[in-house]
Chains A and B, each alone.
Chain A
Amino acid sequence: MNDHNLALVAQAQKGEILAFRQLVEGHQQKIYALAFDLTGNHHDAEDLSQEAFIKAFNGLPHFEGTANFGSWLYRITINQHIDRQRKKSDTLLELQEDIDEQSASNIVGIKPNNPQHDTEMNQIQQHIDQALDKLSDRQRVVFTLKHYHHHTLNEIAQTLEIATGTVKSLLFRAIQTLQTELAFHRSDSDEECAQ
């Protein structure tokens, strides 16, 4: 952990809220991005990321400075996500889809310029999101950390406190599941690339 983060953690552990604020502001985008990849929607991503910071705040007295603060936050976020998934019901999922549509307006990058292109891109995104939803929680966590957050297999194993072989198995099955789900879409996208 770099010296600056080390100093901030030490101050935050003494109760300096401004130091904790700097830690939050230094990690909020990464933790939010992880939360979004895990949950698939803005509303849950915001909730999950903030819950992770609250857990980190409460757990500061027990955090040992030798560990990496960012990795620790990642682990908290993932565990919190797994806990939330256990409690979540299908009804809540439908409501969150509605909320997610309403909150999409503050997300940059989704602005219609080329309607046809955007429709196709939105379809691709939909297929991808639907495929990700088919993964089990652990598969999704492993795939997200590997493919979108570029952790090594060993790092993922350490974060999740599982064997590297288990990570590989989970990742292999995740990719096969995605492959099955995307089978229809993949033939369309190959034609697009050829044009």
Chain B
Amino acid sequence: MNACQPIRDTFVSALYNELSTEERDQFQAHLAACDACKKEYAKMQATLATMDQRTQPQQDAAYWDTYWGKLTPKLEAQTFQKSPQENTSKLSNRKWIYQLTAVAAILLIGVLLGYQLGQKPSTQAPIAQNKAPSEIQRYLSRSEVVLLGLVNLDASHFDPAEMDLQHLQNVSRQLASDSDHIRRQLTDDKHQELQRLISDLEIIMLQISNLETQQNALGIDLVKSSVDHKSILLRINLEEMQRNLTPKAPTTPRI
């Protein structure tokens, strides 16, 4: 048996093909002459063959898409726990940059809305049958600005708790309130599509005005989904194009 010990010491290397050629020759020569070692080696090979049947579970692509998202808050927690001198990570800096960008975007929306409101009404009255076509035009333009500002926001880069949507919600509330009044002006059957558009816009504006502070990111994603699902922006553009192509009635300056 003493002659077997050096060979048994090489069992593991042999099992995993890590013997040199010379060692391999000696090993095989010993197994050919020693039944005990031969049996023992065979048992170990069989054991490893069984272990080979273990399946490695594979996570699907959806899991890996969320892996970084799960890691990020833990990394941020690590970053914020460090002292200012130790914190060399740009995690915090990027977070402030995104928030600053969000504030700038919301301010820009406010400026654009103010500009729209401050614009003198168009002196063109494209559709003679509508009492206040420019009002509809303004309604669609303001809605478009609100929605464009929202769909271009990346909610994942913002801290929902700190995102200030109050201004946007105030405008949305106003637009929702205007929807009913404007719809009543569209009595003609040929404006059914426009009526449907305004109804859809009313719902979306109500969704925006009802966003809760704690769940802004989810709410924004839901609004984006609604806008996308109902092709709102496309329909607004088509409506505006149609209005621009419609023969214009003689203009009456609006006081």
A residues with CB within 8 A of B: 14-17, 21, 24-25, 28-29, 32-33, 36-37, 42, 46, 50, 53-54, 57-58, 61, 106-110, 121, 124-125, 127-129, 131, 146-148, 152-153, 168, 171-172, 175-176, 178-179, 182, 185-186, 189-190
Contacts and interface: CB of A to CB of B under 8 A. Distances in A.
Given A28-B64, A175-B47, A57 B54 contact: no
Given A146-B16, A153-B16, A53 B71 contact: yes
Contacts of B54: 125, 128-129, 148
B57 A110 contact: yes
Interface residues of B, number: 37
B63 interface: yes
A36 B56 contact: yes
Contacts of B43: 179
Contacts of B64: 25, 28-29
B74 interface: yes
Contacts of B88: 14-15, 61
A106 B11 contact: no
B50 A182 contact: yes
Given A36-B56, A54-B71, A189-B50, 7 more contacts: A17-B94, A53-B71, A106-B59, A125-B54, A147-B51, A168-B9, A179-B44
B48 interface: yes
A58 to B, nearest CB: 6
A109 B91 CA distance: 37
A171 B90 contact: no
A54 B48 contact: no
Contact of B89 (A17, A29, A129, A168): A17
A63 to B, nearest CB: 14
A17 B51 contact: no
Contacts of A189: 50, 53
The 4 closest A-B pairs by CB, nearest first: A179-B47, A107-B57, A15-B90, A128-B54
Contacts of A54: 71, 74-75, 78
